[in-house]
Structure 1
């Protein structure tokens, strides 16, 4: 195995000089730097990343933790995070929790074992607090995405879930709908709570009565149970003329349940939701959606994380919250009554 001493001998410099070139530290002439790098290439030298990390107290590794890899919102978010990390010379590790606290705990353990420099994460829910406290105890910087956790002050990038829900309900009411149902994520998730609140506020503003029977609380991710959705539909008599889905995954699951009953969207039931569907849906845009800035969630969140990492040994800035506005995109999934 080639060592820095081999490189130093062939380049005619000290081992310390080689170390400074590898770590991009200290004052070295460009001529010497070029010569050392040329010798490194000739000998096929591969730096020992672990040793370098111990010296510099950094790994140049960051961790992105999301709750559902199948959701196009998160895949686009991941692209934004990766682009920002790469721009600043970091590599990105990835974890998918499926809103499962045990999986999230395993990934937190992986973060600590790999000595990642920071974490960008969408927490599973309010019960993620002990995991965030673990990161804080080990002085691992982190930024939250899409969800807040009560009891934990931190940097966070959010969407305006409450206003988005209000806009979706307003769109349905404008189409003449009065009996409007909501299928949503768990109330243990901050974004789901805000979407429920926006839904309730919009009903009240339009003189419509809130009915708990018209609200189904389930999982935002792939763990949502189609049989639970079907049972919910069976209980509602008459069936609502319109539905609001808390995210795109739930919208697809609901359409499947309606189709199994021979019902079509929008002919038999109107449907609106948060977030775009997969990219192939662009070939035939169909659903009226609240489109969130998924790429910016990841890109801005990563920028905030890098700022926090760089200021760790200095006077750290106060906690920052970015709330990204969303856009209502009207398509063909709402029938005018």
Structure 2
């Protein structure tokens, strides 16, 4: 028969509240008491009854995280960071995968509400989320955007993509590049603004590509282009392969800079110059801000975190004569 919290507390000679807080690793409980509680709970195979806990506190101790993909290593690390932060505070993390359609978002959101999550994190375009904000407010569900820009009336934590765009372009300009290809992805408005401002100041000409597969033909048509700023590190690797297939080398013929700071960029066989997002800080700050909202801090905040340039071997001065 499963042991209850009440029975565990009696064996320890402690109150139910003290045992409950100790099991959640609350710093309000002395470290030796927490250890004693966890030790006996482990020996007796005690499993907390979160249903009862939720009835008492009117909370589910679940957070919902809705995002579209984790194929980029940046998003994998972001999800992992939020997951660990919530786990250490006793929360479960319910993840909803959302293809880029309103119907899929609505379906996953309703599931989150059925599970009575305490709050929601969105790493999704605002166009999917905004129509459902009245529903979230009707259900009194706090939410925050993570690594997504949004209007100032909503909470968000995001990397400073304007600064990241400037960093990338300035690094290429300092290496001597005067014509650069950059991604025209619609989600990159702030980064494009950073590229454009730095390019104007450095007298660099910008050209935009929509798909990495069109880059070799664009380089054939525009021999003055000597560098590429990719959408992400993953795309930068794809671009490098396309360049190699077209007989070009990196950085001998074309310099290449990525974005995100993925783990593989530092591997010797890649050694990719990249603008590294502070992914763990973004994840921890998102969780920390969400707990502040749950505690009653309802004034929206937009937290902007600076990226950093991580030099590699994929950027070099352009060939003489280009």
Q: Classify the TM-score, shorter chain.
A: 0.7 to 0.9
Q: Which runs of 5+ in 1 are unaligned?
A: 25-35, 218-227
Match for residue 50 of structure 2?
A: 49
Match of 1:215 among 183, 202, 208: 208
Describe the shift of the 1:22–1:257 C-alpha distance in structure 2 as closer, same or farther (beyond 3 A): same
Conserved 8 A contact 2:180-2:205: no
Match for residue 238 of structure 1?
A: 222
Match for residue 257 of structure 2?
A: 272
Report the Cα distance in structure 1 between the residues aligned to 2:272 and 2:39, rounded to whole angstroms.
57
Higher relative contact order by CA 8 Å / sep ≥ 6: 1 or 2? 1
Match for residue 61 of structure 1?
A: 62
Conserved 8 A contact 1:4-1:18: no
Secondary structure of 1:85's counterpart equals helix
Match for residue 115 of structure 1?
A: 116
CA displacement, residues 305-334 of structure 1 (integer Å, 9 cap, x when unaligned): 0111121xxxx3411121111111222111
Would you say how many aligned residue pairs link Structure 1 and Structure 2?
304
Match for residue 243 of structure 2?
A: 258
Q: How does 1:80-99 map to 2 (within 5 A)?
A: 80-97=81-98, 99=100
Match for residue 165 of structure 1?
A: 165
Match for residue 146 of structure 1?
A: 147
Secondary structure of 1:77's counterpart equals helix
Q: How does 1:1-337 map to 2 (within 5 A)?
A: 46=47, 48-97=49-98, 99-150=100-151, 153-185=153-185, 187=186, 189=187, 192-210=188-206, 214-217=207-210, 228-236=211-219, 237-239=221-223, 240-279=225-264, 281-284=266-269, 286-311=271-296, 316-337=297-318
Q: Which runs of 5+ in 2 are unaligned?
A: 22-36
Describe the shift of the 1:76–1:40 C-alpha distance in structure 2 as closer, same or farther (beyond 3 A): closer
Describe the shift of the 1:132–1:244 C-alpha distance in structure 2 as closer, same or farther (beyond 3 A): farther
Q: Tell me the C-alpha RMSD between the 2 structures.
A: 3.6
Conserved 8 A contact 2:260-2:275: yes
Report the Cα distance in structure 2 between the residues aligned to 1:125 and 1:252, rounded to whole angstroms.
28
Conserved 8 A contact 2:177-2:204: no
Report the Cα distance in structure 1 between the residues aligned to 2:273 and 2:301, rounded to whole angstroms.
31
TM-score, normalised to structure 1, is 0.76
